[in-house]
A and B are shown apart, each in its own frame.
Chain A
Amino acid sequence: MSDPLLSIRGLVTQFDTADGTVRAVDGVSYDVYPGETVGVVGESGSGKSVTVMSVLGLIPQPPGRVAAGEVLLEGRDLLKLSDEDFRDVRGKDVAMIFQDPMTSLNPVLTVGSQIAEAIEVHRSHLSEDAIRERVIELLELVGVPNASDRFDQYPHEYSGGMRQRAMIAMAIANEPKILIADEPTTALDVTIQAQVLNVLKTAQDETNAGTILITHDLGVIAEMADRVVVMYGGRVVETGTVDEIFHSPKHPYTLGLLSSLPRPDADLERLEPIPGQPPSLINLPSGCAFHPRCRLGNDRERCRFETPERIDLDAGRSTACHFYEEMDAEIERVQRATGAEISTEDEDV
């Protein structure tokens, strides 16, 4: 593989709260290569959003703090930039699409002017007419009908799906190198989700941006992602290609996700939910943070007291489990329990 475009290295982000310090992101590392889509999955509170907000420098301080780590964009550490230089990167080199299009646009400004603003701030030499033309072009690209009329409409005159299209147009306005989409379809009607994902694909093809796609929906991962990052308790517990993650997971938590959620590509006769609750980030369990919920760990000494480091199995393939070598047997057990084919040899995802 070539050099990564974006490389997150040992990122630690904390929040000071009344109950103590929350380590929302605790040593996260992953890479994004040019043109690829990295899917990030994990239960609620696992630090997916906080990681990408740290990449963009959007953690509210206080109470938040990026305490350690590097975010290398083409080798340049964003976290070491001055405020002014970081502002230059935001919206130009790295752009973001947020979850809720209903609240992510300013209700008192026209949609067109909000997209125009994103261009203007980074390319002040462009004339107002040129910017307007470009915005209309972008709106057409993301499939907003009558784009030149809709330029002057306010967000409340757009439907949810149209707003998210506008947000995508805004994000790709400056042809970013990295596009981050944090649950871009979660807040939308099921019927519109597929359309918006298609728009996202178009946008990505247009810009050839490396994309980070956060989602709870394994179906979205299967359709959109090239590689997957699995997060648990503020850490990355497994990385791999979509095929690897879906068909030979090397971490019990990943397997748990696969067997606890309905999937479009595998018929699960019975779901096997992950027992227990996501961990408290103030008081992470000792050893492996997943051990209180792990069937494979089964309360073994090592799991309880020794924090598993990430083990590189292959380029871009890693796991953070002491007993990953026992995963084949565990997969078989789960297949028997759920009646599903997880490990297929000639899959086509």
Chain B
Amino acid sequence: MLNYALRRFLISIPIIVVATFLIFWAISLTGDPLQDLRQQPNMTTEQIERVRENRGLDDPFYVQYAVWVQQIPTGGFGEYMLSPRPIAPDLQRVVIHTLQLVIAAEVLAFIVAVALGTLSATRQYSVFDYSTTTLSFIGYSMPSFWFALILQVIVVQIFELTGVRLLPLANLSSPNPGTGLAFLWDRALHLVLPVLSLAIFSVASYSRYMRASMLEVVGSDYIRTARAKGLKEGTITRRHAMRNALIPTVTVAALSFGTLLSGAIVVETVFGLDGMGRYFIQMLGRRDPYPIMGWLVITSVVVLMFNLIADLVYGYLDPRIRYD
């Protein structure tokens, strides 16, 4: 199995290379990265030319790409175009922040969706089933920034009515977050609203999958066999039905991780979080290809890792899958 994981990872390297190459090319088409520099009043033409030469900006983009690839093993993701600061520390910071947000949202969404999907399938056509169906359609069609704004409005209203500051409305930490447990607690409180805003779409979508696959499983012959043994309905659902129904749901959830990352861009912007989404948009505005390239590599690796995790969980749930 370890062998399999390793092989899967190696296979994904060419995919990352092709993806970064295409993106590098696309960015090179978008315009002059030195435009901002040119507009600064105290910049001389010589200074600008020096940057241009140092960075090899006159070379064709594939040469620039090759140079960029070569420096990855030694120099990490290199330096920003306009300042000699390394990119890696910034990237590391925003990646950690975003993973906190996205993983919390994914775990929450998965647990809630499995519960909702199972309950609505076992109570098909009940009031509960119809309500969750309606709510999930709303969750599915509502943009996450809108949901985020509604949550903020609710918290503000509660504050105005009762004077209780329920939850922080923005940022990742208070000005003096403290250390250790206090820091973690402060971070958790700050993440509540962003995680909810981000998770709602996934809850809606995963719970539909869970419901559908539960309904399919519940009608299958081996469930009838389980009933004929005299098992309780609860045992049948937990031991026989859910485990089978989870197989497709896990796959969907893991493959949707990329969607969740792109959803994070919006949520981070609304809540002013110092994460990958906001960072990406800032760098895009600067037309600086290097941080964007670094960002892209990290994102690809994260998404591929989750696909791999999905594969392994899939194999754990379904004994018919063999890794060889």
Contacts and interface: CB of A to CB of B under 8 A. Distances in A.
Interface string A59-80: 0000000000000000000000
A114 B317 CA distance: 16
Nearest to B241: A106
A107 B229 contact: no
Interface in B235-282: 235, 239-240, 243-244, 247
B73 interface: no
Interface stretch (B13-21, B137-145, B206-214, B216-224): B216-224
A299 interface: no
Considering residues A56, A104, A156, which has the most beta carbons from chain B within 10 angstroms of its beta carbon?
A104
Contacts of B244: 106-108
B225 interface: yes
Nearest to B235: A121
Main secondary structure of the interface of B (DSSP, over half): helix
Contact of B320 (A56, A91, A107, A122): A107
Nearest to A107: B320
B224 A58 contact: yes
Contacts of A106: 222, 225-226, 240, 244
Interface string A141-154: 00000000000001
A95 B225 CA distance: 10
A60 B121 CA distance: 15
B222 A103 contact: yes
Contacts of B222: 103-107
B230 interface: yes
Contact of B227 (A88, A90, A108, A154): A90
B43 interface: no
Contact of B230 (A90, A103, A105, A156): A90
Interface in B103-155: none
* Interface size of B as a range: 20 to 34
B318 interface: yes
Interface in B300-324: 317-320
A98 interface: yes
A91 B228 contact: yes
Interface residues of A, number: 28
Given A106-B244, A107-B222, A107-B244, A91 B229 contact: yes
A170 B226 CA distance: 11
B231 A98 contact: no
Given A104-B221, A106-B244, A90 B319 contact: no
Q: Determine which residue in B220, B227, B243 has the highest number of CB atoms from chain A within 10 A of its CB, and name it.
A: B227
A90 B228 contact: yes
A96 B228 CA distance: 7
Given A106-B244, A107-B244, A154 B226 contact: no
Contacts of A91: 228-231
Contacts of B221: 98, 100, 103-104
Contacts of A108: 243-244, 247, 317-319
Contact of A90 (B229, B317, B320): B229
B319 A154 contact: yes
A34 B239 CA distance: 35
Nearest to A113: B239
A114 B221 CA distance: 14
Contact of B232 (A87, A104, A154, A156): A87
B139 to A, nearest CB: 29
Nearest to B232: A87
A190 B228 CA distance: 27
Given A98-B224, A117-B229, 6 more contacts: A87-B231, A88-B230, A98-B228, A103-B220, A104-B225, A121-B235
9 contacts: A92-B230, A100-B221, A103-B222, A106-B225, A108-B318, A109-B239, A117-B239, A121-B231, A121-B235
Interface of B: 220-222, 224-232, 235, 239-240, 243-244, 247, 317-320
Interface of A: 56, 58, 87-92, 95-96, 98, 100, 103-109, 114, 117-118, 121-122, 154, 156, 167, 170
